[in-house]
Amino acid sequence: MRTLICNCNQTLALDAAALRGALAKTPGASTDGLDVTHTLLCRREAVSFQRAAKDTTARGDELLVACTQESRLFLELNQETEGAASLQERPIHFVNIRETAGWSQEGRQATPKIAALLAAAQLPAAEPVGTVSYRSAGRCLVIGSAEAAERAAGLLADKLDVSVLLTGTGGALAQAHARATHSGRLTRLRGWLGNFEVAWESTNPIDLDLCTRCNACVEICPEGAIGLDYQVDLNACKKHRDCVRVCDAAGAIDFNRAPLQHAETYDLVLDLRASPAFSQHQPPQGYLHTGHDEGAIVDAVLKLRELVGEFDKPRFFRYDAKICAHSRNEKIGCTACIDVCSASAIRSDASLKGKGKGQAAGGVVVDPHLCVGCGACSTVCPSGAMSFAYPGTVDQGRRLRTMLTAYGHAGGRNAALLIHSEAAGSRLLDELGRGAALSRRDRSLHGLPARVLPVSVWHTASVGIDLWLAAIAQGASQVWVMVTAEEAPEYRQALQEQMAVAQAALTGLGYAGQHLRLLEVRDARDLHALDAALRCEPAQTVARPATFSVQADKRATLELAIDHLFTQAPAPTEVIALPATGSPLGTLVVDTAKCTLCLSCVSACPEAALADNPDKPQLRFLEKNCVQCGLCATTCPEHAITLQPRLWLADGGKARKSLRVLAEMEPYRCVKCGKPFGTLLAIENMLSKLSGHSAFQGAAAERLKMCSDCRVIDMYTDPNEVRITDL
């Protein structure tokens, strides 16, 4: 990959030799075509960019420009350069090393960070994911009061097919019958862009379809109960019915009309009411709620005007129902993904039975049209059944490892990864870098420290405990996640819970300091607080960074990270207690006085953490596989199982990877032949529960103590037993 680097009019300190050395040692990075000679690449040296664009096209290579601020200009120059490939044939890549590295009070020490950013930017693009399509013909429903709805509809009418739903009285409709106008109480609104199902109940005596807006009813009503919205205020109406008389020809007013139920489909919905129709943090695409805010209404109108046609978005998630720990046999276990989804895109399907061996026996359903790609479901999923695909964990893990490797080869120490969103997060870091550059004299802003490596992601909730711990194992000192006003409260809580689990594990292993933090930054007014928070002491990390690759399987990555962190641990504790909420690791405590070894928990476990023993009555457990979903405890008829979150490192960490016995007992032997056919406690419980039943007295009670073969023989040899053949 050809890489062009500019010192931006000598405001960046660049060490070409150190950068080449670090990139040469980093797998996946390249020094071929690394050009660090430019001062004003976007102005007087623009011809160098054009020459590089032609050269990379001729060689079939790709081009990386270390400047995001002038990306639009470079793209235009590429278009105008004869012999340069089009962006569809060969996209140009950009990376920001100015605000995120060079523009800081530590800019001269930022060479390792710049090497890390360049190495990550040189990686090949992630594999493309599938898409989800929306089709909108522009049928738009505006919901609200008469005047506000009419005004908004007027701004949309030249681009969209607009209808209005009045949900209250007051205001005035236009005299011209320019669009379909309805009134009533909204009873249902669901769907998404291009497919909204809307239902309402109309109870007002005036039918707006029949009304000619002649105003005769308005003038005749003695109470003034009818306004220019052509709706009757039933609280003010005294039932004179003069309005009915003057509307006789049109027949638009009928006080005896039964409530009418209406249902329509729309592509877009603009909701002007005070309270939105959707309670979740992230409403469906194509639905915009503004309330009475005039500025918000204008912004919404501008957005809606562009939502006509066909639109695609990435299919952000992958779901493996076979390892989902949500439900088994209609019993509910883990609900983490359902609880955290701020778009209400995930619902339970606990009744799903499965049609064959190895198929799902209950799970969740994700509606891809409602999914907004936050990735929080993958972060809280303990089994890895839900995974983020834009990009996937393998690509994200490769990116983090590449950054840490290049940073280390360039001499960097105590790297802190700062995970932030591509949108609001990037804008805030740009503001911080600009502020630091402008305050070099008064030093009011420090800027990103040289050891802080910014990591831009689609959404901050999409990176979770597996990648965090993998990064620490691979040499990072800390992992911080910066959240802004974009993130829903559910995401912040989920991230805090997962961080508490990871931090407890690291502390228990003996690593000193705070390794994980959630940095909350609302907007640019919080830049000074962010600036101060970034300048904290590093936490203790591994002496020898791991070299493993992040796996697609979340549990496999967790195990690799834990194993390496344990081998490098300064002072590991054998049993590390983990927080009760959100832990994907732990054991089970079985009350052996209650357990009958019915083994219903074994069939309920979706992760093969529980197993029986075909040779003797035993309940065995593989702690490494347990995801703490609780399905075993929910299924247990004796309520004998309790979850215990922990990280168990006995026997050098091998104990949790081996089967161990949680409960066992002597078998119950048939009173006739002596063959074992159940457990002692199970048969005794059954005898106790059936002792008072009339059908299990005498010989019938004795048969309960026999194996199935002896029970049948005894029934057919008992002269007092009544059989069907005797009837």
Confidence at 290, pLDDT banded by 50, 70, 90: very high
**In this structure, which amino acid lies at residue 24?**
A
Q: What is the mean pLDDT of residues 305-311?
A: 97
Residue 356 pLDDT exceeds 50: no
Residue with tokens 């969209």: 160
How high is the pLDDT of residue 666? Answer: 80
Q: What is the mean pLDDT of residues 595-606?
A: 92
Residue 362 neighbours by CB under 8 Å, 6+ apart: 324, 326, 327, 328, 329, 330, 331, 349, 350, 351, 352, 353, 354
**In this structure, which amino acid lies at residue 486?**
E
DSSP letter string, 255-293: TTPPPEEEEEEESEEEE-SSS-S--SSSPPTTEEE-TT-
Q: What is the mean pLDDT of residues 346-368?
A: 71
Instruction: Note whether 656 and 623 are within 8 A (CB).
Output: yes
Residue 116: closest CA among 394, 398, 410: 410
Give me the phi and psi of 176, to 5 degrees please.
-70, 135
State both tokens at 602.
């074994």
Confidence at 352, pLDDT banded by 50, 70, 90: low
Residue 411: closest CA among 25, 6, 104: 25
Please state, in angstroms and rounded to a whole number, the distance separating the CA atoms of residues 300 and 152: 9
Residue 237 neighbours by CB under 8 Å, 6+ apart: 221, 223, 225
Least confident of 59-63, 113-117, 401-405: 59-63
Give me the phi and psi of 304, to 5 degrees please.
-65, -35
Q: What is the mean pLDDT of residues 231-253?
A: 91
Residue 53: closest CA among 24, 26, 29, 73: 73
How high is the pLDDT of residue 361? Answer: 58
| Per-residue pLDDT reduced to its tens digit, 193-214 | 999 999 999 988 999 989 999 9
Residue 424: closest CA among 524, 290, 532: 524
Residue 144 pLDDT exceeds 90: yes
Please state, in angstroms and rounded to a whole number, the distance separating the CA atoms of residues 14 and 109: 10
State both tokens at 530.
């962010």
Residue with tokens 């997060």: 425
Q: What is the mean pLDDT of residues 694-719?
A: 84
Least confident of 95-104, 312-321, 363-372, 659-668: 659-668
How high is the pLDDT of residue 359? Answer: 43
Q: What is the mean pLDDT of residues 86-104?
A: 94
Query: CA neighbours within 13 Å on the CB side: how many for 110?
Result: 28
Please state, in angstroms and rounded to a whole number, the distance separating the CA atoms of residues 97 and 110: 9
Residue 650's SS3 state is helix
Residue 333: closest CA among 383, 389, 367: 383
**Which contacts (CB < 8 Å, 24+ apart) does range 164-170 have?**
165/141, 165/198, 165/200, 166/208, 166/229, 166/231, 167/143, 167/200, 167/273, 169/227, 169/229, 169/231, 169/232, 169/233, 170/145, 170/146, 170/227, 170/229
Q: Mean pLDDT over all residues of the chain?
A: 92
Q: What is the mean pLDDT of residues 505-514?
A: 98
Instruction: Note whether 327 and 631 are within 8 A (CB).
Output: yes
| Per-residue pLDDT reduced to its tens digit, 616-653 | 889 999 999 999 999 999 999 999 999 999 999 999 99
Confidence at 380, pLDDT banded by 50, 70, 90: very high
Residue 726 pLDDT exceeds 80: no
Which ranges constitute the DSSP H helices of 98-204? 111-121, 146-156
How high is the pLDDT of residue 633? Answer: 96
Residue 32 pLDDT exceeds 90: no
Please state, in angstroms and rounded to a whole number, the distance separating the CA atoms of residues 34 and 2: 6
Supply the DSSP symbol for 100.
Answer: I
| Per-residue pLDDT reduced to its tens digit, 651-700 | 999 999 999 999 998 888 888 888 887 777 777 778 888 888 888 888 88
How high is the pLDDT of residue 724? Answer: 47
What pTM did the predictor assign? 0.88
How high is the pLDDT of residue 289? Answer: 97
How high is the pLDDT of residue 675? Answer: 85
Residue 501 pLDDT exceeds 80: yes
Q: What is the mean pLDDT of residues 90-104?
A: 95
Instruction: Note whether 236 and 226 are within 8 A (CB).
Output: no
How high is the pLDDT of residue 425? Answer: 95
DSSP letter string, 352-401: ---SSTTS-SSEEEE-TTT-----HHHHH-SSSSEEE-TT-HHHHHHHHH
How high is the pLDDT of residue 716? Answer: 82
Q: Which one is predicted more confidently, 191 or 87?
A: 191
**In this structure, which amino acid lies at residue 512?**
A
Instruction: Note whether 490 and 538 are within 8 A (CB).
Output: no
Beta bridge partner(s), residue 201:
185, 261
Indicate the helix (H) or strand (E) that contains 717.
helix 708-717
Share of the chain above pLDDT 70, in %: 97
DSSP E strands in 86-233: the ranges are 92-94, 131-136, 139-144, 161-166, 180-183, 185-192, 195-202
| Per-residue pLDDT reduced to its tens digit, 392-415 | 999 999 999 999 999 999 999 999
- CA torsion 479→485→488→491, rounded to 10°? 10
| Per-residue pLDDT reduced to its tens digit, 535-567 | 999 999 999 999 999 999 999 999 999 999 999
Q: Most confidently modeled of 32-41, 192-201, 685-694, 702-711?
A: 192-201
Q: What is the mean pLDDT of residues 135-161?
A: 95
How high is the pLDDT of residue 330? Answer: 85
Residue 28 Cα distances to 451, 545, 546, 719, angstroms: 22, 18, 17, 84
Residue 721 pLDDT exceeds 70: no
Residue 563 neighbours by CB under 8 Å, 6+ apart: 653
Please state, in angstroms and rounded to a whole number, the distance separating the CA atoms of residues 661 and 219: 87
How high is the pLDDT of residue 679? Answer: 77
**In this structure, which amino acid lies at residue 346?**
I
Q: What is the mean pLDDT of residues 133-154?
A: 95
State both tokens at 150.
């009419």
Residue with tokens 């030799």: 17
Instruction: Note whether 644 and 609 are within 8 A (CB).
Output: no
Which ranges constitute the DSSP H helices of 227-322? 242-246, 294-304
Give the burial string for 635-655 (b: 16+ CB within 10 Å, else e): bbebebbebbbbbbbeeebee
Share of the chain above pLDDT 90, in %: 78
How high is the pLDDT of residue 393? Answer: 96
Supply the DSSP symbol for 538.
Answer: P
Q: What is the mean pLDDT of residues 24-33?
A: 91
State both tokens at 625.
């596989």
Residue 182: closest CA among 197, 168, 196, 161: 168
Residue 693 neighbours by CB under 8 Å, 6+ apart: none
Residue 574 pLDDT exceeds 50: yes
Confidence at 266, pLDDT banded by 50, 70, 90: very high
Please state, in angstroms and rounded to a whole number, the distance separating the CA atoms of residues 229 and 168: 9
State both tokens at 63.
């081009």
